[in-house]
Chains A and B, each alone.
Chain A
């Protein structure tokens, strides 16, 4: 039985930028279909296309992005190769080694190793992501309680092998970049929701 899904207008409102596209209905009889083919073949639309290309070529106003010299700007929620960030003030690694990213990772491609350091603190000694497996879902960035692992904008990760690892040193903000103020905060997955500060309740300290 043919099932027709009822359209529920979830996103499309008067004020939104969405509008209905006017699509003429498809031909149903053989004769109508034949007429459509003949019309399309001889209407000369092909030459319209060719003319557009020609016109733009001789105008020398080219819009092509000169990749890899140029790159398109990416939206903040774009999810590409991960970065591990540092704390601005102290320069310490933000990652506390809680292991939540490793646990949540849907393709099981994060592996880390931790130990107890001389000050009885947990230290992350190793952190690797197998980009060959990663599906860039963003779960790791979202679960991270420390805003330590984020998705950066680097999307080139061509490799000769299917397994392709990035390790901690590749992802961690170098200290000189941090000092130069060049560490970027990513407003994408896992970032603090606007207004979070107001939602924090203070612990009573009335003693």
Chain B
């Protein structure tokens, strides 16, 4: 605690806080133009200047921490003059195009220009020739850019793409793609979000609507388990197409949250439904005579509860292999450590000094985890250890140690990791014995990870204060997932690592808590809800009965942070809902959200009604979204199983992995997101599989066949190729182990 004064009033700051942060907390207003809470200070605008009794001249409050007893003045006449002059400079030759600018009405420059009463230009400067850049989903107009550097900071420090930089040249300065002619990045669009003016805009949205015409609907992203907060911005379409409500864009509270490209640009997946009583009756009958309902985790908690209640009533089975894998993993985890949930969160990753990423391709599986890791690496210098059979180019900037293990050997790797990290811990005899008896030589040889690599991990994490182990979805669907879970539990119990499990789909966690799931053994009369079945319903893949998509529904999700998050209806849906079907089958609820308070309390839900759930961040960044699940105690009865032979994967192996910004059947149908559906592999893979770049191929999996084009990806190494699932599986990854040995046949060559 540091005590100091602002304008004579006593203020306290925490250690590490700047004058600006302390001032904001205490309710003082210091104007800023380049400040972004989630990055390091850009310190480019100088608008945040203040005076103190211990310094000559002005200092920047956004990057200066206060000292004990400091007397700060934030609004003297000299400061006002200084700030007004800065605003005058900002406006020199600024195009007078608020009338058409996308930012008008929500523009920091507009607001501050009015605030400081700048009505004319006193300086002169030669006008530069500047051209508007078209960078795919993003357009950049350098003449509107005020060079605040927020976009550069966020791209580098939070996203980790490091794709743009400032080209300095005095009055000619502008933002340019780094080391490239055009922007080559993951298109998260976060630069658009943070840009205080209309310089960086969404090319799809540009000039299509004004900020004040859009209705803002706070919701939760429906693409991955991070459950990011986003705002759907909705307006009517043009009269010629019926003036119906449409989502125009997605925005976020960029000071405190970050979206990936799927959340930001993949919003147009809603479907139009009509009430067709015949089809409805058919759906009701299908469920009555169903042996099972198969469903994906693209579902709200309330609907999952409806399914569970129907199961209890009619006695059919519930199939969701991906959530079942997660459920079993977490049960095994709980049976070891006695808790229903893990201790780690995305926020904890950001605060970590050491992060181990194990068994998942984080940058495409769950971008929010990637951003949290980037933040930890950039802001805390965190050591990042990435353990996976495939190196990931997108993580190159942050990973300090890459550990490559052989496909399939995850159990051995986790066991060795546990042994390494648990060294010197006070363990029970059983566990000590188990670890001592591990056949290190065999495990290391099979997994191809050397002793020294493990000891390097141990060394890196030894010095760290906060540590996180991120468990990817490869482990959840592994044959030996349960033993892996028990080993992970050991790590969380005995070391100061907290664990984050990356759930494979939007509401995998919620489904696993609410539904009793059965092993999918197929059978007759299966009803598919956003999944395959004999009768299908939902919003994905031409179902017989259309039900609303996740942006036309209200309800809640449980994120990987174990947080219950509300989502809302962005655009309405005129057809039936699952609740209507349930009512026809004898349940009774006026709205789907009537089920929100009934979510199972023994699983940690607290019974709050839907309308009482918040969905925002305060101005100071406190999370007021939904609530955190209570971590409840479970019986400890887990027993570690001995590790037998580790499986081997030889020949042509593919890895189920979606391209960036693609996740599921929803993202697959959006207009803006790139839909790369190729099999991507290295030249080495091409040689091994005897195929060449651009070849049309047929991939024969154990279950099913896919036809795709093979493309050589120069960023990949090794002998495993990446095969997307978003275009074939409706729900998500994670129904089965993500690596598979397949047969690849060049089409046209088979005889």
The answer to the question of A203 belonging to the interface, with a C-beta cut-off of 8 Å to chain B, is yes
Contact residue among B123, B124, B206 (Cβ-Cβ distance under 8 Å from A116): B206
Q: Restricting to B94-108, which residues have a CB under 8 Å from any CB of A?
A: 98-100, 104
The answer to the question of B180 belonging to the interface, with a C-beta cut-off of 8 Å to chain A, is no
Contact residue among A116, A121, A128, A145 (Cβ-Cβ distance under 8 Å from B208): A116
The answer to the question of B589 belonging to the interface, with a C-beta cut-off of 8 Å to chain A, is no
Comparing B236-244, B559-567, B598-606, B664-672, the segment that makes contact with chain A is B236-244
CB–CB A125/B238 < 8 A:
yes
A38 and B243 CA atoms in complex are apart in Å by 66
Most A CB contacts (10 A, CB to CB) among B139, B210, B213, B240 go to B210
Q: Chain B contacts of A56 at CB under 8 A?
A: none
CB–CB B126/A207 < 8 A:
yes
The answer to the question of A204 belonging to the interface, with a C-beta cut-off of 8 Å to chain B, is yes
Comparing A26-34, A47-55, A94-102, A171-179, the segment that makes contact with chain B is A94-102
A120 and B207 CA atoms in complex are apart in Å by 9
SS class, residues of chain B in contact with chain A: loop
Given contacts A116-B207, A116-B208, contact A145 B121 (CB under 8 A): no
Q: Chain A contacts of B120 at CB under 8 A?
A: 201, 203
CB–CB B210/A99 < 8 A:
yes
Per the CB 8 Å criterion, the residue count for chain B at the interface is 27
CB–CB A103/B212 < 8 A:
yes
Q: Chain A contacts of B206 at CB under 8 A?
A: 116
Q: Chain A contacts of B122 at CB under 8 A?
A: 204
A52 and B121 CA atoms in complex are apart in Å by 68
The answer to the question of B125 belonging to the interface, with a C-beta cut-off of 8 Å to chain A, is yes
The residue in chain B whose Cβ has the minimal distance to the Cβ of A98 is B99
Q: Chain A contacts of B636 at CB under 8 A?
A: none
A120 and B201 CA atoms in complex are apart in Å by 12
Q: Chain B contacts of A102 at CB under 8 A?
A: 213
Q: Interface readout for B218-248 with A: 1 if CB under 8 Å, 0 if not? A: 0000000000000000001111100100000
Q: Chain B contacts of A111 at CB under 8 A?
A: 236, 239, 243
CB–CB A113/B99 < 8 A:
no
Q: Chain B contacts of A122 at CB under 8 A?
A: 100, 207
A126 and B239 CA atoms in complex are apart in Å by 8
The answer to the question of A193 belonging to the interface, with a C-beta cut-off of 8 Å to chain B, is no
CB of B415, distance to nearest CB on chain A (Å) = 57
CB–CB A206/B124 < 8 A:
yes
CB–CB B238/A113 < 8 A:
yes
Q: Interface readout for A192-206 with B: 1 if CB under 8 Å, 0 if not? A: 000000000101111
The answer to the question of A115 belonging to the interface, with a C-beta cut-off of 8 Å to chain B, is yes
Contact residue among B100, B132, B139 (Cβ-Cβ distance under 8 Å from A98): B100
The residue in chain B whose Cβ has the minimal distance to the Cβ of A102 is B213
CB–CB A99/B123 < 8 A:
no
Number of A-B residue pairs with CB-CB distance less than 8 Å in the complex they form:
60
Q: Chain B contacts of A207 at CB under 8 A?
A: 124-126
CB of A156, distance to nearest CB on chain B (Å) = 23
CB–CB B239/A205 < 8 A:
no
Per the CB 8 Å criterion, the residue count for chain A at the interface is 27
Given contacts A103-B212, A111-B239, A145-B99, contact A97 B207 (CB under 8 A): yes
Q: Chain A contacts of B125 at CB under 8 A?
A: 207
A66 and B733 CA atoms in complex are apart in Å by 79
A128 and B240 CA atoms in complex are apart in Å by 11
Most A CB contacts (10 A, CB to CB) among B237, B238, B240 go to B238
A203 and B239 CA atoms in complex are apart in Å by 41
A100 and B243 CA atoms in complex are apart in Å by 19
CB–CB B239/A204 < 8 A:
no
CB–CB B121/A203 < 8 A:
yes
A201 and B119 CA atoms in complex are apart in Å by 10
Q: Chain A contacts of B99 at CB under 8 A?
A: 96-98, 100, 145-146
CB–CB B124/A204 < 8 A:
yes
CB–CB B208/A99 < 8 A:
no
Q: Interface readout for B48-84 with A: 1 if CB under 8 Å, 0 if not? A: 0000000000000000000000000000000000000
CB of B353, distance to nearest CB on chain A (Å) = 46
Q: Interface readout for B677-698 with A: 1 if CB under 8 Å, 0 if not? A: 0000000000000000000000
The answer to the question of A36 belonging to the interface, with a C-beta cut-off of 8 Å to chain B, is no
The answer to the question of A157 belonging to the interface, with a C-beta cut-off of 8 Å to chain B, is no
Q: Restricting to A138-166, which residues have a CB under 8 Å from any CB of B?
A: 145-146
Q: Chain A contacts of B212 at CB under 8 A?
A: 99, 103
CB of B254, distance to nearest CB on chain A (Å) = 23
Q: Interface readout for B106-128 with A: 1 if CB under 8 Å, 0 if not? A: 00000000000000111111100
A131 and B210 CA atoms in complex are apart in Å by 23
A115 and B213 CA atoms in complex are apart in Å by 15
CB of B117, distance to nearest CB on chain A (Å) = 15
The answer to the question of A107 belonging to the interface, with a C-beta cut-off of 8 Å to chain B, is no
Q: Chain A contacts of B236 at CB under 8 A?
A: 111
CB–CB B240/A126 < 8 A:
yes
CB–CB A128/B239 < 8 A:
yes
Q: Restricting to B121-162, which residues have a CB under 8 Å from any CB of A?
A: 121-126, 132, 139
CB–CB A203/B238 < 8 A:
no
A123 and B123 CA atoms in complex are apart in Å by 32
Q: Chain A contacts of B209 at CB under 8 A?
A: 114
CB–CB B239/A115 < 8 A:
no
A145 and B100 CA atoms in complex are apart in Å by 11
CB–CB A114/B207 < 8 A:
yes
Q: Chain A contacts of B123 at CB under 8 A?
A: 204
A102 and B238 CA atoms in complex are apart in Å by 13
A201 and B124 CA atoms in complex are apart in Å by 14
A32 and B243 CA atoms in complex are apart in Å by 66
A205 and B122 CA atoms in complex are apart in Å by 10
Q: Chain A contacts of B243 at CB under 8 A?
A: 111
CB–CB A115/B121 < 8 A:
no
Most A CB contacts (10 A, CB to CB) among B122, B206, B239 go to B239
The residue in chain A whose Cβ has the minimal distance to the Cβ of B92 is A203
A128 and B239 CA atoms in complex are apart in Å by 9
Q: Chain B contacts of A146 at CB under 8 A?
A: 99
Q: Chain B contacts of A120 at CB under 8 A?
A: 132, 139
Q: Chain A contacts of B238 at CB under 8 A?
A: 113, 125-126
A38 and B125 CA atoms in complex are apart in Å by 86
Q: Chain B contacts of A114 at CB under 8 A?
A: 207-209
Q: Chain A contacts of B240 at CB under 8 A?
A: 126
CB of A109, distance to nearest CB on chain B (Å) = 12
Q: Interface readout for B420-447 with A: 1 if CB under 8 Å, 0 if not? A: 0000000000000000000000000000
CB of B278, distance to nearest CB on chain A (Å) = 35
Q: Chain B contacts of A145 at CB under 8 A?
A: 99
Most B CB contacts (10 A, CB to CB) among A121, A122, A206 go to A122
CB of B672, distance to nearest CB on chain A (Å) = 14
CB of A166, distance to nearest CB on chain B (Å) = 12
Q: Chain A contacts of B210 at CB under 8 A?
A: 98-99, 103
Q: Chain A contacts of B100 at CB under 8 A?
A: 96-98, 121-122
CB of B205, distance to nearest CB on chain A (Å) = 9
Most B CB contacts (10 A, CB to CB) among A103, A116, A123, A125 go to A116
CB–CB A204/B121 < 8 A:
yes
The residue in chain A whose Cβ has the minimal distance to the Cβ of B119 is A201
The residue in chain B whose Cβ has the minimal distance to the Cβ of A145 is B99
Q: List the 10 shortest-distance A-B pairs measured between CB atoms, nearest first.
A: A113-B238, A98-B99, A122-B100, A204-B124, A122-B207, A116-B207, A99-B210, A116-B206, A207-B126, A203-B121
Q: List 25 A-B contacts (CB under 8 A).
A: A96-B99, A96-B100, A97-B100, A98-B98, A99-B213, A103-B213, A111-B239, A113-B208, A113-B237, A115-B207, A115-B208, A116-B203, A116-B208, A120-B139, A121-B100, A123-B207, A125-B238, A126-B238, A126-B239, A203-B120, A203-B124, A204-B121, A204-B122, A204-B123, A206-B124
Q: Give B contacts to A, CB under 8 Å.
A: 98-100, 104, 120-126, 132, 139, 203, 206-210, 212-213, 236-240, 243
Q: Give A contacts to B, CB under 8 Å.
A: 96-100, 102-103, 111, 113-116, 120-123, 125-126, 128, 145-146, 201, 203-207
Q: A102-B213, A204-B121 are in contact. List 19 more A-B contacts (CB 8 A).
A: A98-B99, A99-B210, A103-B210, A103-B213, A114-B208, A115-B207, A115-B208, A116-B203, A121-B100, A122-B100, A122-B207, A125-B238, A126-B239, A145-B99, A201-B120, A203-B120, A204-B123, A206-B124, A207-B126
